Amino acid sequence: MKITNGKVIILIGAIHTLLTPVVYFNQFEVFARRFFFSINGGFMEDAINYETFAAFWCLYFGLALFPLGVLLDSMERQKITIPKSFIRIYFGIILIGVYMIPFGGMTVFMLPHVIYMMIASWRKTIAIKHNDNILKTR
């Protein structure tokens, strides 16, 4: 089994999702008692419950990484190059997360991964340009 960028993102999503009930045990317990239905009053609440809000986004972000990872894995297995525009946007999102929570998972796991994606993309571009030059000079 070849490790792809998609599989790395799926793994990060799985870690994120599995750590949510551990890190936010009290909030997750309330979610589970409600069968994950109406966990927050939304716009009807007088004040934001920041712990519930953080627990929800921690869980939801982990789950949101799954389809992204599956899509990238599928593209890579079909030998479709990941668009540079995707990598740049992904990098921007990661940088915002690193800025907002410098000692979080985005800094530890996702920043090195997106830097790897950028370097791999750059190397592939250089290799293609190099091969084109060799073919043209013959």
Does residue 40 or residue 7 have the better pLDDT?
7
Q: In this structure, are residues 4 and 112 in contact, taking their beta carbons and an 8 Å threshold?
A: no
Non-local (6+) Cβ contacts of 7 within 8 A are 1, 69, 73
pLDDT, tens digit, for every residue of 64-123? Answer: 999 999 999 999 999 898 899 999 999 999 999 899 888 888 888 889 999 999 998 888
Structure tokens at 135: 């073919």
pLDDT of 126 higher than 80: no
pLDDT, tens digit, for every residue of 25-81? Answer: 888 787 777 776 666 666 666 766 667 777 788 888 889 999 999 999 999 999 898
